[in-house]
Amino acid sequence: MLSVRFQHQIGQSRIDAAFDAPAGVTALFGKSGAGKTTIVKAVAGLLRPDSGRIALDDSVLSDSSTGRFLPPHRRGIGYVFQEARLFPHLNVRQNLLYGRWFSRRKTIASLPQVTEMLGIGHLLNRKPAALSGGELQRVALGRAILSDPQMLLLDEPLAALDEARKSEILPYLERLRDDLAVPILYVSHSAAEIARLATTIVLVDAGRVIASGPAAAILSDPATTPLMGAREAGALLTARLGAQDKDGLTRLDSRAGPIWLPHIDRPIGTELRLRIMAQDVMIALERPVNLSALNVLPATITDLTRTEGGIQLRMDAGGEALLARITARSARVLDLHPRKQVHAVLKAVSVAPGSIGTTPSAVQPA
């Protein structure tokens, strides 16, 4: 568990950070200039806060009341930047083993374990110049893991990659989240990334932590929409892959009801979570018939919030939260209000493949 409680003044800006990061992925999310970089530097030991305390498990990293301040090399933190920063004159094997020099606990995973986890075993004899962007980042992750860190700090590791490379590396980041028993602090400007990876989300704005908590709760909270952005508003649903139909569709079984999506190449029984965008959900008072949309989920409205350009609905669908963004006129014509029973309608093609990921710590079937 990482515990962060500190204050720091930078020019005219003041940072007041307070949050906890348990095992799993804690995502720091906010607009440029919100204060994320300052928080990351304070955790890494690259900045000494004016006041406050930062602790990782039983190790106090900094504490202004006692004057304690551990330098970066003694913090046991594996740091991965936007750029891989590998040694160009060393091959992949040598770059990976370099991380061992910084191991203090001597309980590091073996090189074969790390290369298998990240799918880089076939790259060991290559130089960095011969690697793709996604491969470079996977090697950088491997080097950080082999330093046997008590925590990983990933500072926008996908920012420099194109969409194809991001799609390539996201499954490996999911595996790190589920296989490593260490906290991961993940900094990103991408709502799609944190929705797929995060177990905990910390929203930062104007130097302050606005909200923090489980990813599903933060993403489906209408109060966080202004910070996330109306176009990024959406909810996370958990589901289990139930069947592969002959017509190319996959059936997912969720508490909200069955959901059909284009073919998902995962085994039956795999636990998944889906990011369903508010703008892709339509509302009907009666269950529609003769409609091309396959997914119709009974729901109860729990909250209506006026946003820029319309109304955002929060609904309970069998215990799962759903969001929908509609016009104020539609809300008025349908006479929508809390506790009203409705049907949420979702096209199968509305859920992009990049919005589907494994459930944190899900046990995959053999």
- Bridge partners (DSSP) of residue 262 are 249
The pLDDT confidence band at residue 107, using thresholds 50, 70 and 90, is low
CB 63 within 8 A of CB 56: no
Q: Tell me the percentage of the chain whose pLDDT exceeds 70.
A: 96
Q: Provide CATH code, domain 234-358.
A: 2.40.50.100
pLDDT for the residue 98 = 83
pLDDT digits (tens, 9 = 90+) for 56-72: 988 999 999 999 999 99
Q: Is the pLDDT of residue 343 over 60?
A: yes
Indicate whether 366 pLDDT > 70.
no
Domain boundaries along the sequence of the chain: 2-219, 234-358
- Give the alpha-carbon dihedral of 274, 279, 284, 290, to 10 degrees: -80
pLDDT given at position 331: 95
Q: What is the pLDDT of residues 136-179, one digit of tens each?
A: 888 988 888 888 888 889 988 888 778 887 888 888 888 888 88
Which of 236-250, 301-315, 320-334, 349-363 shows the lowest per-residue confidence on average (mean pLDDT)? 349-363
Q: Rounded CA gap, 220 and 350, in Å?
A: 18
Per-residue model confidence (pLDDT) at position 70: 94
Split at pLDDT 50, 70, 90, the class of 6 is: very high
What are the beta bridge partners of residue 15? 8
Q: Is the pLDDT of residue 12 over 90?
A: no
Angle between helices 133-146 and 111-118 (to 10 degrees): 150
Instruction: For residue 264, name the pLDDT band (cuts at 50, 70, 90).
Output: very high
- pTM, rounded to two decimals: 0.83
What is the phi/psi pair of residue 302, to 5°? -110, -20
Buried b (16+ CB within 10 A) or exposed e, 341-352: ebbbbbbeebbe
What would the two tokens of residue 91 be?
A: 């091959």
Question: Rounded to whole angstroms, how far apart are CA atoms 355 and 236?
Answer: 9
Close Cβ partners of 67 (under 8 Å, ≥ 6 residues apart): none
Domain 2-219 bears CATH identifier 3.40.50.300? yes
**C-alpha atoms less than 13 angstroms from C-alpha of 214 in its C-beta half-sphere:** 8
Burial of 191 (0-12, 13-18, 19+ CB in 10 A): buried
